[in-house]
Each structure stands twice: as C-alpha cells, then as structure tokens.
Structure 1
Amino acid sequence: MPYVFNALSLLIQVVFSAIATLFLFRLLAEANRADFHNPLSQFIYRYTNPVLAPVRRLLPNWRRINLAALLMVWLALLIERVLIDLLAGAMPFLPGLLIESLADLLDFVLLFYIVVIFIWSLLSMLSADPHQPLVRLAGTIVQPVLRPLRGKLVAGNIDFSPTVVVIVLLLARILLVAPIFDIGARLAQGG
C-alpha cells in the first residue's frame, strides 16, 4: 500500500507544484517588469489571468507585488499539503497547517530561485541566444537577486556570483525554512 500512497503523493505534488510555479512565474515576471512581448510571458499571462483577474479586485497589487498571484501560490501549496495529509490518514490542526504551508511557500520560492539561477547560468555558459524567450525571462527574474554581487566575484572570466547566491539560498532553506516548518509540524500534531 505505501507504493500507491507514494504514487498518489507524487502526482499531487507534480500537479500542485506546476500550478504554484505558473503563478510564481507571473508574480516574479510582473515584479521584475519582464518583457510582455516574450512568448513565455504571454503564455503565463494567458493561463493565470482568468484566475487572478477576479481575485485582484479583492486583493490589489502592493507596489509591484501581485498579491493575488502570491495568494494563489500559497493556496496551491496549502491544498497540496492538505491532500497529502488526508491521503496519509491524518488531519493536522489548522494553526500548524497554516505555518507548515507558509514554510512550504518560503521553501518553494527559494528552491524556485535556485533552479532558475542554475538554468540561467547553464544557458549563459553554453552561449545560448540571449534573445531566446527562456533566457530572457530567466535573466529578468534572476538579475535583481544577482545584481548586488554581479562583477564583484570574478576570477578570470568566470563570475561566481550565481554560486554564492545559490549557497545563500540553500543556507536560507536550512536556517530559516526548516525551523518554521518544525514549529508548524509541532503545532499540527497538537503539541
């Protein structure tokens, strides 16, 4: 039976992580003023706007942050956690569940940046066409995170700023997200 549980958990994680990724791309593309003429930006807008348009009437943007998209990312991760817990035969207490889903959100954003920085760095090392839609969108999203270190950690012709940023993001997952998740897990169990 654990095989069926693992398979269903995997399917739930894939579906809800894909939904969360789509809305997170929308959030970060808007916040970083990604080129709307990029086909990937248009794809993201086309598939997120039907959900976000009604929510944005109730939850408008704060500065350049699309709060409706952030809410959708959090809700996708919350629903994922609830479904997996129900599949496991457990229903955690609400305060713990909310804190765990907050930790999931922070972890998801950090992991998203790690993956996008890695892909962008790999594409730049392979001399990918800078006008390619994926390279442009990834570059737009990672530049604000890399900008403080850009050009300061160069050895030869290699810029190590992406490596340092990835290490900082990994440390944030360990030192920030893990303790929040532990607190949520204790509260979810009623302790």
Structure 2
Amino acid sequence: MYSDPFVMLVKVIFNLFLFVVLLRLVLQLTRADFYNPISQSIVKVTSPIVLPLRKVIPSIGRLDTASLVLAFSVQLLTVVFVVLIKGAVISPASYAIYTFAGTLYHLLDLYFWAMLISVILSWVAPGANHPGALLVGQITAPLYRTCQRVIPTIGGLDLSPIFIFLAISFLKQVLAPYSI
C-alpha cells in the first residue's frame, strides 16, 4: 500500500489525531450529546490544543473554528512531513490544495464509516442504547434528514443511505488524487 514505512507511520499517527479532531468538530456541529462518555473522551483529548486556540480564534455560530483550524493544521503537518520524507518539493499552492482536499477527504471518510456503522446497527441492534450507537445516530441523523426530504421512504424502506453512500464515494473519488 505504502512504499515507505515512515510515510505510513506519519500518516497513521497524524490521521488518527485528525480523525479525533474532525469527530469533535462534527459532534459540535450536530449538537450531539455532550455528556456521552465518548464525547467526553474526545473533548478531553483535544481540549489541550483547542482551548488555547479558542482564545485567539472565535467561533462563528455553531462552527467551532478553533477545531477547524486545528484539523487543517494537522493535515498540513501530515503533508509537510510526507513531502519531507519523500524528498519532494511542492509549491505553497499545492500545500493549500493538499491540506484542504485531505481534510475534506478525511471528513467524508468519517461520515462514510459513521453511515456504515449506522446501517449495520439498524439491522443488528435497532434502538440500541450503547453510547457509541447513540453518538453514531446523532452524527448521521442530519444526513438522513437532508436526504429524506428529497427521497421519501418507499413502502417502509429507507433508501437514503444508498444515495448518501454514493455521494460520499463520488466525492472521495474526486478528492483522492489531492489528498495525502
């Protein structure tokens, strides 16, 4: 998959932290349960960096711009380290494109996995009260509602996950060449 083990190691470490930061951002945007133990853990892990950033970068409405700036910064660091390890030289515009596209790609990846977990839970454990299941439901509910406005259920069958998966997969394919 990766030709250089150091590139793989850098990407895994930074992408795991980026996942947590993006999850914090999504939890705040969807107004997920703050008292959920998983939400508390995510906040606890990211607060040492996000709270000082909030003093400098104010929120815009429901958008926590400090978390967004942190997500872009983590992705930028990933790009910088991968470029340094590979010994390549890219322009500042390329850094911006790889940072933006990579962050968006990982956000779509987060939603892809949340949707997949949501669909599997709807088959295996509908109405589960596990904190993880509740959190996944709160994250994916806005996507379902948006899609269900356009595509109604047919005979009790909700087709919105299919169209959401298609949209996410299409967007990820578009962004894949520009994400590191």
TM-score (norm 1): 0.85
Supply the AA of the counterpart residue of 1:141.
I
Distance apart, 1:166 and its partner CA: 1.1
Gaps of 5+ in 2: none
Distance apart, 1:155 and its partner CA: 4.2
Report the counterpart of residue 163 of structure 2 in structure 1: 164
Distance 1:129 1:32, change over 3 A: same
Report the counterpart of residue 141 of structure 1 in structure 2: 139
Supply the AA of the counterpart residue of 1:40.
I
- 8 Å Cα contact 1:82/1:91 also seen in 2: no
Report the counterpart of residue 15 of structure 1 in structure 2: 13
Question: What SS does the aligned partner of 1:158 have?
Answer: coil
Distance apart, 1:92 and its partner CA: 1.4
Report the counterpart of residue 119 of structure 2 in structure 1: 121
Question: What SS does the aligned partner of 1:36 have?
Answer: coil
- 2:4 and 2:17 mapped to 1: Cα distance? 20
- 1:73 and 1:56 mapped to 2: Cα distance? 14
Q: Superposition pairs for residues 152-191 of structure 1, below 5 Å?
A: 152-175=151-174, 177=175, 181=178
Distance apart, 1:76 and its partner CA: 1.0
Supply the AA of the counterpart residue of 2:161.
P
Distance apart, 1:43 and its partner CA: 0.3
- 2:131 and 2:9 mapped to 1: Cα distance? 28
- 2:173 and 2:117 mapped to 1: Cα distance? 22
- 1:155 and 1:57 mapped to 2: Cα distance? 49
Supply the AA of the counterpart residue of 2:31.
R
Gaps of 5+ in 1: 186-191
Q: % of aligned pairs identical? A: 28
Supply the AA of the counterpart residue of 2:123.
M
Supply the AA of the counterpart residue of 1:77.
Q
- 8 Å Cα contact 1:61/1:67 also seen in 2: yes
Supply the AA of the counterpart residue of 2:159.
F
Distance apart, 1:58 and its partner CA: 0.8
- 1:8 and 1:158 mapped to 2: Cα distance? 46
Question: What SS does the aligned partner of 2:58 have?
Answer: coil
- Say how many residue pairs are matched: 179
Report the counterpart of residue 188 of structure 1 in structure 2: none
TM-score (norm 2): 0.89
Report the counterpart of residue 71 of structure 1 in structure 2: 69
- 8 Å Cα contact 2:23/2:110 also seen in 1: no
Distance apart, 1:109 and its partner CA: 1.2
Question: What SS does the aligned partner of 1:113 have?
Answer: helix
